Structure 1
Amino acid sequence: MASSDRSPGPMPPGDGSVPPGKAMTMGQQVLDKGAQLMQSLKPVKQMSQHVCTFAMYSHDMTRQIETHHFLTRLNQDFLQCPVYDSDDSNARLIGVEYIVSEKVFNTLPAEEQKLWHSHAYEIKSGLWVNPRVPEMVQNSELKDVVKTYGKFWCTWQVDRGDKLPLGAPALMMSPQDVNTGIVKPELVKKRDEKYKISSDNMKNSRANIETPKEMNPYADYWIKTGKGFAVDIEKTPMELRAPFP
């Protein structure tokens, strides 16, 4: 079986921009519209913010992608975010990120903390943005987010041309101001031009946002060790009894 750091093998036919399959029929579109009217879709309606930022693969930091997170806040210390490759109507769902406050993160075991990344640099550098939301409105939210940590699993590596979500999930890391953690300028320029914003201006306007006095030593583990994480899938005997009570 595939590892998250290797290509899963031959791809199914298709142009790469959409998964293989025929166009939606008129009947299917009518059915979907009718279901939208009759169903509550409560979890989806709780998504309150759209954040555009960047991420890189833990096993290969040279692979950097633009990401679009749609945030749902379950409480003041926990956010859950489906992650898409764009904010277009045909965007592909490429993963999920969980975000916790510093207080919650510090309760996690050290081995678990190694899988998480900090958000302070993303915020302060102007890489993390709420498109079309004025900076002065974002600012109060960012004062909380700057002290959070995230765990982001990518399930669809569209940047390598995968036409379907194939292989094992990949752990993603956040941008940092060091080595391969620096986002490629051309990616930032393309994003800024799309939304008519300036990451540099945002960086200046966020100068007074306070970052944590001391970052947790296990977050952003790759910076200290030069090592990332990849997921391998292996066969294992099936348990006859659940290991949990």
Structure 2
Amino acid sequence: MSSQREFVSVIKELGLPTPVKPGRQKGHVPSKAEKDIDVLENLLVNNKAGILETWGAVYDESQFKKAKTQLPAVLKKLDLESKEKEIKSQLDAYSKIFKKFTEHHAIVMAPVKTLPFKKVYMHKLPKIYENEKGSLEINEKPIGYIVELPYQVERSAAYGEMKDKEPLFAPVIGELELNWNPPDGASQSGEIYIKDFVLQANFFEAFDKQTTRNSIWRYQNYGRKGEPI
């Protein structure tokens, strides 16, 4: 098992929050997400049909302190005792970077009037990643606007930017890789899906995976036209 997978298993066993399930509080707006919400309101202009609903991530320091005390027992359970020093260091780094994550992460739901959908969600989901030196860093910029369309979309498309080339929209070849399963008893209307924040977060991950990137490159190499082979 890779070092990254080992740490993910430790996080799961400790019950710590993750970017997909960070622990949100309704009505909370992180200070560093306020400008993004202003942008959403300016985009909608007079199309708002009601009050915005917000959910913001909240950092619980006590949760991470408790995790440190539980770490030895968890490592023993996972047969990772020999890596305690390494994983303890990773946990400290994760705690710091996750605090930064909560300062930016927010979800906003805006009911709208004269658009072909009833609601639009703004989902600001910073990306935590490992740099070339193995240290955790955060990109606080990723933002998605998510809506439920009243018709079926036959193929997903991804927007891509390449060095020394014009940006493009490219059809995604195959299915999006979603690490998500629909809840039991999901309605046919799809209303339950648009409200699923875990699904929303998985869209971010799916569009950032190598398979999706490959679709963009293949479409570029195909001349940006026709059906990619």
Place the TM-score, normalised by the shorter chain, in its bin: under 0.3
Structure with a larger share of its residues in helix: 2
Higher relative contact order (CA 8 A, sep 6+): 1
Q: TM-score when scaled to structure 1?
A: 0.24
